[in-house]
Amino acid sequence: MTRTVYVNGEYLPEAEAKVSIFDRGFLFADGVYEVTSVLGGKLIDFAGHAKRLQRSLNELEIANPVTEDALLEIHRELVRLNGIEDGLIYLQITRGAADRDFVYPKDATPTIVLFTQAKPGLADSPLAKTGMKVISIEDQRWGRRDIKTVQLLYPSMGKMMAKAAGADDAWMVEDGHVTEGTSNNAYIVKGNAIITRHLGNEILHGITRAAVLRFAREAQMVVEERPFTVDEAKAADEAFITSASAFVMPVVVMDGQPIGTGQPGNVTARLREIYLDEMRKAAV
């Protein structure tokens, strides 16, 4: 079955979908994106992603070409047309096509593109049982990581560094403190506390992060939103990451050293279970 994608108001076979070579997403990485997961044919935390999308657009002064209701409808239609049971929906909005100039064009029409990725068994990843290995690398991204732009080359390089080192991902470090993973938020557990970097321009404000911290607090767990060092991570009892595509995923090795027992921890497993249960219930 050929994939049906969405481009500027039309549902098209992927081979027929076209965007201009002058699109500022292509020339300047002048665009933002969201990734929403689908479980059992339903969208996980669509409202959270729609809200962050609007914030990213506002920060870059890009007009949103669709209402939240229309966006929900497009997501649902793509799930239906592509028969997605478990998978991801990728959404990108750019400032649109204009003659190349560093100044934002006044008359460009934003480009909107969505496509699906089928991921059967997305919530049953074997990594959830074995845990991930991470390496630490310097965070060399730009300073507005709170905006979810399509400027992903350094995270992609980081992922390649991790693969070359036989690991699954890289945790990025700035001034001795972990910021986040290449495409996820980073956490450690020490004693009874769940520790993750506070919100700011240095990290993406994860939608999964917000939900997981809410569930943790509701379950009377202690949450500390503060920077933590690589040494603290290596001395932690547990570590994990969160993202829309990985949910809550244990991290068991950092820079070749086991974290805690070197096995996925109980707090991580519990948070993953609560997150998946609650979010499946609330899926739309």
Which residues contribute to the site for ligand PDD (CB under 6 A)? 35, 180, 183-185, 204, 206-209, 242-245
Closest approach of ligand PDD to the CB of residue 119, in Å: 12
| Catalytic residue ranges | 148
Q: What is the spatial order of strands in the sheet that 42-43 belongs to?
A: 10-13, 4-7, 111-118, 87-94, 31-39, 42-43
Residues 241 and 251: their CA atoms lie apart, in Å, by 7
**Residue 139 Cβ vs ligand PDD, minimum distance, rounded to whole Å:** 10
- Ramachandran area for residue 166 (φ above 0: left; ψ -120 to 50: alpha; else beta): left
**CA-based radius of gyration for the chain:** 19
Residue 111 dihedral angles phi and psi, to the nearest 5°: -95, 135
Contacts of residue 110, defined as CB under 8 A and 6 or more positions apart, other chains included, come to: 62, 63, 64, 65, 93, 94, 95, 96
**Residue closer to ligand PDD, measured from CB, 97 or 251:** 251
Q: Which is nearer to ligand PDD, 27 or 152 (CB)?
A: 152
Residues 6+ apart with CB under 8 A from 214: none
The label of the residue with tokens 């997403």 reads 25
Cβ proximity to ligand PDD, 209 vs 272, nearer residue: 209
Report in angstroms how near the CB of residue 261 gets to ligand PDD at its nearest.
26
Which tokens is 254 given? Answer: 């950092």
Identity of the residue, 213 or 259, whose beta carbon is nearer to ligand PDD in the bound complex:
213
Q: What is the DSSP letter of 149?
A: B
Q: State the minimum distance, in angstroms, from the CB of residue 198 to ligand PDD.
A: 14
Of 119 and 270, the one with the shorter C-beta distance to ligand PDD is 119
Half-sphere exposure of 63 (CA within 13 A, CB side): 9
> Nearest approach, Cβ of 208 to ligand PDD (angstroms)?
3
